[in-house]
Amino acid sequence: MMRLMTIPTVCLILISCNFNYSSDAKTGDEKVSSSAMNLSKKALRLIEQNKTDSLLSLLNSKVRGMVKKDQIDWLMKEGKKVITNSTFPNDTAVLVSQSVNFSITGKKVIEMLSFPFQSKEYEDSVKYFHITVSDNEIHRLLLNNYPPGMRIIEPERTEPHLTTLNLNSENVSWFRIWYDDGSKLSKKYGFHSDFYAVSGYNEKLKTLGISKSFQEIFDLVNKTVPDSLDFKYMREKEVGNPEWIYLRMKFNNAEYKNLGEFEISCFLDEEEGKKEIMSDYIIFKHTDKTRYLFRKDKNVGLLQKLKELGHKDFKDAYEINP
């Protein structure tokens, strides 16, 4: 499924058990119990070691019964990548909050710990494991890009759709290709299996021999009339584990340099029996949320060019920590 480590949300509400809090959560100077800290760190180490059964044994029994296989599989795979490619936080860096639940059975203290994992390669990339603990059991486990309490705020600015496009590979100042081979393929790309990223400045387009590929894709986008237009900030949640490609670009020409990043994304294949919401479209986007949708069945040539780019062997150019 989609795994974009430096972009839109990578989020899984894996498991949860609801509490009716009768006191407000406290954050900041709260001191977490040593048992909650040790339990949470043990869970993270089990994710790093890919020990699924051992992790499940730490969960509250009711929560464990609700866990779906695809959820835990996702967490083990994505969580291990985050931990492996990041710096494990010191205890003092862990964000802690506490709440108290009063019921006829007595008082329950619920401790919520958020572990910030700073990427070793990208200074501005931080992922958070949020773990809720009560009675020495894990009741909730969440992996996403946001510190606790942070809301996703959609940019107020809405850039209108352009009536014409004139994309040129010579004007690309920066690019990044993200490719995920989905559930049907399982190849190795540099240091990683199943997915890769390649990025760089304009000169790298030439050294990788893909300037022509980018221009062919641009030419098809330039001359094609979109089938529909919309504004969408956050992408649609993925359903399965599809093969897909995601291109990001910045342009340095006067026409486009103030429009932020440009994106082209497309599902190249889908997991059997799991149809993605936007599986029928190639999506072109700029300025955070201005989207142009091209039907794949009407743009077979563009689809093929994207697939060829995704399947290209980039040899030693793959990012070490995509």
Segment 99-145, tens digit of pLDDT: 877 656 667 888 999 999 998 877 778 899 999 999 999 999 989 88
Count the Cβ atoms, other than its own, within 10 Å of residue 307: 16
Give yes or no: residues 175 and 306 share one domain. Answer: yes
**What's the domain count of the chain?**
2
Give yes or no: residues 173 and 135 share one domain. Answer: no
Give yes or no: residues 200 and 95 share one domain. Answer: no
Residue 301 in this model has a pLDDT that exceeds 60: yes
CA proximity to 259, closest of 146, 200, 173, 169 = 173
Buried b (16+ CB within 10 A) or exposed e, 207-246: ebebbebbbbbbbbbeebebbeeeeeeebeebebbbbbbb
pLDDT single digits (tens) 156-178: 667 899 999 999 999 999 999 99
Say if CB 214 and CB 205 are below 8 A apart: yes
Name 85's Cβ contacts closer than 8 Å, sequence gap at least 6.
119, 120, 121, 321
The last residue of one of the domains, among 144, 161, 194, is 144
Distance separating alpha carbons of residues 8 and 2, to the nearest angstrom:
10
Q: Does 191 reside within a domain?
A: yes
The pLDDT value recorded for residue 99 is 83
Q: Does 224 reside within a domain?
A: yes
User: Phi-psi category of 261—alpha, beta or left, where left has phi over 0 and alpha has psi -120 to 50?
Assistant: beta
Q: Does 43 reside within a domain?
A: yes
Mean pLDDT of the region 19-39: 63
The pLDDT value recorded for residue 16 is 45
Mean pLDDT of the region 290-302: 97
For residue 189, give the amino acid letter: Y
Name 258's Cβ contacts closer than 8 Å, sequence gap at least 6.
none
Name 201's Cβ contacts closer than 8 Å, sequence gap at least 6.
173, 174, 175
Mean pLDDT of the region 12-31: 46
Q: Does 4 reside within a domain?
A: no
Task: Supply the range of the domain harboring residue 36.
Answer: 12-144
Distance separating alpha carbons of residues 59 and 54, to the nearest angstrom:
10
